[in-house]
Amino acid sequence: MPETAPRVLMQSRMNERLKARVEAEFPVLYVDRLDAVSDSDASSITAIAGWGDVSSALIDRLTNLKVIANFGVGYDAIDAGHAAQKGVMVTNTPDVLSAEVADVAVGLLLNTVRELPRAETHLREGNWARAGAYPLTGLTLRGRSVGIYGLGRIGMEIAKRLAAFDLPVSYYARHRKDVPYAYEASLEALARAVDTLIVAVPGGAATEKSVDAEVLRALGPQGVLINIGRGTVVDEAALIDALADGTIAAAGLDVFANEPHVPQALIDLPNASLLPHVASASVATRDAMADLAADNLIAWLRKGRALTPVPECAHLNR
Ligand code: NAP
């Protein structure tokens, strides 16, 4: 059978550099959503680039699909296990964003504990001159002990930064690591051992709603939850209750269960500091992610070797 000429499927709302890099090499079909590709186009698609949901059903419809080059390190929206079974390579963009995301995790922690965004609003709205100083914050970073849920590439960068803040760090992950941080054998044990919990695990079925009412209770009334992993990891309804009734003190969130929709109850809570999924969103870091995604796609289609395959697909690399 003749080889299908490369043709790339991409969502039209996409990073401009990734579009330009891919368009320079291959014809691109743009769609609003990946699953909106028509049946007549489906068999001509050899690659998917960027972001978007890639279910097993979509992989099956794209009968000549060879590679899914994800723009981002988290690939829970892609059925990578199914892709691997069908010999379809899946790549992501690890490492190039870890330091940037860790910076934002620490910034979000400071914003949450010291209420910096609210203090700035106090100034901008003229309340400093009119009504006086911004109230003292009830919380401080001083004296806190931090637990990191997921000590991978990003978690390690967060831990390094917290060491410079003189904060003791412990962690929970699937595997114990050779690191100078205390290991806790479960998420609940970690939450019990610390008063500040930072989520840096991937999304997906294994972590879904793992930060639940029990874990929040274990964190306690001085507790602060920071999430820069995935919104699905936290039981959002339980978190809203915990913030409203003082089960924990505050939360800082960059990610949400149903983005871009954020529950009004969360927005209304004064002890929640909220960001619209911006942890990697600088031009420099997004450019590096775009280049790595494009390089992966090109390397797989031209040379049959991906630069950064996801673990499920690493064995496909020649
Ligand atoms: P990584 O290097 O693969 O690290 C993931 C860590 O989570 C590892 O320590 C891993 O444990 C742990 N983990 C995975 N599944 C687990 C489970 N079921 N139970 C307990 N621990 C589990 O990934 P990374 O590069 O640090 O990225 C982490 C996540 O951050 C991404 O998947 C993405 O969702 C998120 N992220 C968010 C943003 C943002 O803009 N907010 C940006 C980039 C990434 P082991 O080490 O024991 O395997």
Which residue puts its alpha carbon closest to atom 2 of ligand 1? 152
Amino acid 241: pLDDT:
99
Query: Ligand 1: which atom is nearest the Cα of residue 75?
Result: 32
pLDDT at 2 over 90: no
Q: Are 237 and 257 in contact (CB under 8 A)?
A: no
Amino acid 271: pLDDT:
98
Contacts 24+ apart (CB under 8 A), 173-179: 173/149, 173/201, 177/151, 179/151
166: region left, alpha or beta (phi > 0 left; psi from -120 to 50 alpha): left
Residue 280 Cα to ligand 1 middle (Å):
14
Read off the pLDDT of each residue in 192-211 and give the average, rounded to a whole number: 98
Tokens of 267: 């927005």
pLDDT at 1 over 80: no
Alpha helices in 15-97 (DSSP H): 16-23, 39-42, 56-61, 80-85
Residue 70 Cα to ligand 1 middle (Å):
15
Read off the pLDDT of each residue in 19-33 and give the average, rounded to a whole number: 98
Instruction: Kindly tell me the number of DSSP H helices and DSSP E strands found in the chain.
Output: 13, 12
Average pLDDT, the chain: 98
Domains of the chain and CATH, by start: 7-93+283-316 (3.40.50.720), 98-274 (3.40.50.720)
CB atoms within 10 A of CB 192: 15
pTM over 0.85: yes
Query: Ligand 1: which atom is nearest the Cα of residue 207?
Result: 18
Amino acid 3: pLDDT:
77
Cis? peptide before 260, omega within 30° of 0: yes
How deeply is 222 buried, as exposed, middle or buried, from its count of CB atoms within 10 A (0-12, 13-18, 19+)? middle
Residue 152 Cα to ligand 1 middle (Å):
6
User: Is ligand 1 within 6 A of the CB of residue 152?
Assistant: yes
Strands of the chain, DSSP E: 8-11, 28-31, 47-50, 67-70, 89-91, 146-149, 169-172, 182-183, 196-199, 224-227, 250-253, 272-274
Residue 264 Cα to ligand 1 middle (Å):
28
Query: Ligand 1: which atom is nearest the Cα of residue 155?
Result: 26
Q: Among positive and negative, which fits the CA dihedral 277, 282, 288, 293?
A: positive
Residue 161 belongs to what H/E stretch?
helix 153-164
What is the band of 289 on the pLDDT scale with cuts at 50, 70, 90? Answer: very high
% of the chain residues with pLDDT over 90: 98
Look at residue 239 and give its three-state secondary structure.
helix
- The residue whose CB lies within 8 Å of the most ligand 1 atoms, and thus the one to mutate among 51, 73, 104, 170, is 73
